[in-house]
Structure 1
């Protein structure tokens, strides 16, 4: 199972997030399906400031949707809950403790993702026991209000030093209008959040982003 999860992740290009900040709880299942129908390769549930019982209930709803589609379901934060519901992975930030401690909780089979906000943090992830990184925010984004954008200047270097060893998903303010600029800077994989979740047609917007990321 762990190898299957890592194999699925190795081919992932577009990482989708179902975020309480943009999606009402009653629509999360349908939005998850739309993201998957459009070509999202990974789905994360992000629930900042939401009570744990509600997070668990929603995670248990989204997990089988992802399983039936054959893509990894990642829980943002809450390693213990990720184990309890048998999620495919957990994503943790820079302030969420040492990866070694997270690994003790989730075991060897579960995927661990780490947010990185600079080239040194991305490089450090190579020596941590993580399965992928998020790298950003590249642009200012309401999803991470107050966190300065790191720009595009070091994307190619990050991909050369890190992306050849770990899946590295660029994140932060990425949308269809600037996606080609991000790809031109060297990105191979992206997380797109608000641009997809606020689209009139989520599936079509997701498909357009996926096609842009897919090799010709």
Structure 2
């Protein structure tokens, strides 16, 4: 179950990390069914809307807005916080948070456009200097990875354990991403992590397998 609110101070680490689910590029009807199957379990603490293939279409912005409205409504039904990938303006229109890559907008602009309760995350790869910068700029969490190779980004550089330790020593919530599964997450059990970001380990499954996988994640994180 979720262990903290969207307004939690970065210094108050949850006893159990939260599962942070990212959308994939499934056809929308299928995606929606998968998201509902995951959210109804109560295990998902944060949801990121990331639809790269939709945005690549001619009417991508309009289509993404229509999809995101439905996803945000669904997430609110299950009391799950939402962030939009890279798009501060869309996040502001929808009243949700935003996750920013290093080249996708600055945190100060996000803070000006979003309400104080909306989560702002920043990609920091394996660089603890970027983690410190995210902290100083006022981000709510710093995302580090890839921890392992993944099907989503098979060519992404993986980070060392020491890089992750250095990031965790900063006074900001840490999110880890990249190849994480319910079977390998125990390798990070001694680190003070806030968010465990997952795409393929849940979203690649058929709808009828997702609830069981979320429960397996809940058991893994509880350990």
TM-based fold match above 0.5: yes
1:57 corresponds to which residue? 66
2:91 corresponds to which residue? 82
**1:103 positional shift:** 2.1
CA deviations over 1:141-171 (Å, ceiling 9, x no partner): 2323432111333323322x23xx3321111
- The structure 2 residue matched to 1:37, chosen from 14, 36, 40, is 40
* Structure 1 residues 178 and 187, CA gap change in structure 2 (3 angstroms): farther
Asked whether the 8 Å contact 1:170–1:187 carries over to 2, the reply is: no
Q: In the alignment, is residue 100 of structure 1 matched against residue 105 of structure 2?
A: no
2: CA distance between counterparts of 1:153 and 1:109? 32
1:99-178 to 2 correspondence within 5 Å?
99-118=107-126, 119-159=128-168, 161-162=169-170, 165-178=171-184
Partner secondary structure for residue 161 of structure 2: coil
Asked whether the 8 Å contact 1:41–1:71 carries over to 2, the reply is: yes
**1:187 positional shift:** 5.2
1: CA distance between counterparts of 2:151 and 2:131? 22
Q: In the alignment, is residue 25 of structure 1 matched against residue 28 of structure 2?
A: yes
Structure with the higher fraction of residues in helix conformation: 1
- Structure 1 unaligned runs (5+)? none
CA deviations over 1:53-97 (Å, ceiling 9, x no partner): 11111110111111121120111121111111222x111101113
Partner secondary structure for residue 135 of structure 1: strand
Give the RMSD, CA atoms, in angstroms: 2.3
- Structure 2 unaligned runs (5+)? none
Partner secondary structure for residue 44 of structure 2: coil
CA deviations over 1:111-138 (Å, ceiling 9, x no partner): 2111110222122221111111211111
Please give the TM-score of this superposition, normalised by the length of structure 1: 0.85
